[in-house]
Amino acid sequence: IASGGETAGFEPAWVPMAVLGVIMVVTYLFIAFERLHKSVSAIIGAIAAVVAAMAFGLFGSGGYHHVHEIVGHDLNILGVIIGTSILVDTVGGSGLFHFIAIRVVKITHGEPRKLFLFVCMLTFVFVSLLTLAPGALLMASLVLVICKTLNYHPKPYLIAVAIVANSAALTTFSSGIATLMIGTAAQIPYVHFFIGSTPLAFASAIIAYLVLSRIYRKTLLEDAKTAGDEADRKLKVAGFEEWALVKNRKIFWRSAVVLGATVIGFATAQVIGVGLDFIAMAGGMAALLFCAGDPEKAIKKVKWTVILFFVGLFVIIGCVKDTGLLQVTADSLVKLGGGSTTVLVLIIGVFVMAASGFVDNIPVTATMLPILDQIARDNPGMAAPLYWVLVGASNLGGNGTPIGSVSAVVALHALETDRGEKVGWGEFMKAGMLILAIQAVIVIGYVLLMNSLGLLPDLPKYTG
Q: How confident is the model at residue 271 (pLDDT cuts 50, 70, 90)?
A: confident
Q: Transcribe 291-355 into DSSP letters.
A: TT--HHHHHHHS-HHHHHHHHHHHHHHHHHHHHTHHHHHHHHHHHHTTT-HHHHHHHHHHHHHHH
Taking the C-alpha atoms of residue 163 and residue 264, their distance in angstroms, rounded to an integer, is 27
Is residue 131 in some structural domain? yes
Q: What is the largest CA-CA distance in the chain?
A: 79
Peptide linkage before 363 cis (omega within 30 of 0): no
Cα Rg of the chain, angstroms: 23
Q: How confident is the model at residue 164 (pLDDT cuts 50, 70, 90)?
A: very high
Is residue 434 in some structural domain? no
Q: Please give the backbone phi and psi of residue 292, each rounded to the nearest 5 degrees, phi first.
A: 55, 40
Closest C-alpha to 447, from 334, 347, 326:
347
Are 185 and 173 spatial neighbours (Cβ–Cβ below 8 Å)?
Answer: no
Q: How confident is the model at residue 3 (pLDDT cuts 50, 70, 90)?
A: very low
Taking the C-alpha atoms of residue 373 and residue 355, their distance in angstroms, rounded to an integer, is 19
Lowest mean pLDDT among 18-22, 189-193, 216-220: 189-193
pLDDT per position as a tens digit, 50-72? 999 999 998 887 789 999 998 88
Is residue 49 in some structural domain? no
pLDDT of residue 49: 96
Number of compact structural domains in the chain: 1
Q: How confident is the model at residue 4 (pLDDT cuts 50, 70, 90)?
A: very low
Is it the case that residue 328 has pLDDT exceeding 50? Answer: yes
pLDDT per position as a tens digit, 280-303? 999 999 999 998 878 998 888 888
Is it the case that residue 202 has pLDDT exceeding 90? Answer: yes
Of the ranges 55-64, 262-271, 293-302, 311-320, the best mean pLDDT one: 311-320
Average of per-residue pLDDT values in the chain: 89
Identify each DSSP E strand in 37-192 by its residue range: none
Q: How confident is the model at residue 5 (pLDDT cuts 50, 70, 90)?
A: very low
Q: What is the phi-psi region of residue 36: left when phi exceeds 0, alpha when psi lies from -120 to 50, beta otherwise?
A: beta
pLDDT of residue 7: 44
**CA angle in degrees (0–180, nearest 5) for 282-361-39:** 70
Distances from the Cα of 129 to the Cαs of 88, 190, 262, in angstroms? 9, 14, 10
Is residue 216 in some structural domain? yes
Taking the C-alpha atoms of residue 288 and residue 309, their distance in angstroms, rounded to an integer, is 26
Is residue 386 in some structural domain? no
Calculate what percentage of the chain has a pLDDT beyond 70: 97
Mean pLDDT of 254-282: 89
Is residue 207 in some structural domain? yes
Q: Could you tell me which residues come within 8 angstroms of residue 23 by beta carbon, excluding any fewer than 6 positions away?
A: 45, 48, 49, 52, 316, 320
Taking the C-alpha atoms of residue 284 and residue 371, their distance in angstroms, rounded to an integer, is 33
Calculate what percentage of the chain has a pLDDT beyond 90: 49
pLDDT of residue 289: 92
Say what angle helices 425-452 and 341-359 make with each other, to 10 degrees: 160
Is residue 239 in some structural domain? yes
Q: Domain residues for 259?
A: 76-301
Mean pLDDT of 214-219: 93
Q: How confident is the model at residue 189 (pLDDT cuts 50, 70, 90)?
A: confident
